[in-house]
Amino acid sequence: MDFRHPLQKPAYMRWLPSKTTATIASMEFISRGVMQGFIAGRHKSPHKGFSIEFAEHRQYTPGDDLRNLDWHVLARSDRSYIKQYVEETNLRATILVDTSGSMKYRGDAAAAVENAPCSKLEYAQYLAAILSYLFIGQQDAVGLVTFDTAIRTYIPARARASQVRALLEALDATKPGGETAIADIFHDIAERIPRRGLVIIISDLFDDPERIVNALHHFRHRRHEVVVLHVLADEELTFPFDQFTRFRNLEGVSDIQTDPKALRASYLEQIRLFLQAIKNGCGRIGADYVAMNTATPFDQALSAYLTRRRTGQG
């Protein structure tokens, strides 16, 4: 029996702050690629139908709707051709959330929610929840995968209203795990998603950049559109430490105690090369790359990306 007060929200609803849903509700996510779905929607489909955007002609056959006959071609050549158009369809999005140990990091500069700074994992959970809400709100299908050393949750994409609750409950139950080999997991997931759609990856991508880009290419080979939300803490980007510090490894390897001043220049160069390799690799395979710093509130970061995407600037 549920003894919650009737006005008390379920715990999983914390991932959808009301202020955030009000902001995102006025936005939409339009696919840039070709989607496969089941209902008429706003995204381009690989199937020919009778929509708005012209695709090609085919020869008239008895029973075809004469309203789609190309009268100009008939007048010029005395041949009957039907105009075919590209159907629009619903998008099928799968959101991948990295739950590995490194995602536990909670920097002091991170944006606060309910007076507590967000860890990278919490930031990812909020992003996944908001995107799920957005997709279902525009009658698209959305699914969820969480992973660390293995796939921990796999919820196939569905477009029904109850899907939001299922995904929020899964996100709420998610706990940070251990070390992960991201590239291997991506290859596994790429083989599991049954039809072309949109794959959104939310991760710090702490793995070999070349292997990551190769794994991302697997999604593209399967004809998915790919969006990478690269979530890092401000401290990981700026390395502001200036006192002798013990650095704790969040994925199980032993800690080290050192003077950060001696490491700063080398670290910043390595992180620069890492970010550049991931960004350039995404560019080569036609994936969207979105850098996200947990110091920026997640709703602002997502809203900015959706605006850039809608206007063709990102």
**What are the C-alpha distances in Å from 228 to residues 183, 199, 249, 267, 270?**
13, 8, 24, 23, 20
Q: Is residue 303 part of a domain?
A: yes
Q: CA-to-CA distance for 291 and 277, rounded, in angstroms?
A: 13
Are both 59 and 23 inside the same structural domain?
Answer: no
State pLDDT tens for residues 147-199.
998 999 999 999 998 999 999 999 999 999 887 789 999 999 999 998 899 99
Q: How many domains does the chain have?
A: 2
- 89, 122, 154: which is the final residue of a domain? 89
What count of other Cβ atoms lies within 10 Å of the Cβ of residue 270? Answer: 11
State pLDDT tens for residues 4-38.
555 678 999 999 998 888 887 778 888 775 544 44
* pLDDT score for 71: 66
Q: What is the DSSP letter of 13?
A: G
Are both 179 and 210 inside the same structural domain?
Answer: yes
Q: Give the residue numbers spanning the domain of 78.
A: 43-89
Q: Is residue 2 part of a domain?
A: no
Q: CA-to-CA distance for 292 and 111, rounded, in angstroms?
A: 12
What is the pLDDT confidence band of residue 52, given thresholds at 50, 70 and 90?
very low
Are both 79 and 198 inside the same structural domain?
Answer: no
| pTM of the complete model | 0.79
Q: Is residue 141 part of a domain?
A: yes
CATH number at residue 157: 3.40.50.410
Q: Is residue 7 part of a domain?
A: no
Q: Is residue 208 part of a domain?
A: yes
Q: Is residue 182 part of a domain?
A: yes
Q: Is residue 247 part of a domain?
A: yes
Q: Is residue 150 part of a domain?
A: yes
Are both 268 and 204 inside the same structural domain?
Answer: yes
CB 143 within 8 A of CB 95: yes
Are both 51 and 185 inside the same structural domain?
Answer: no
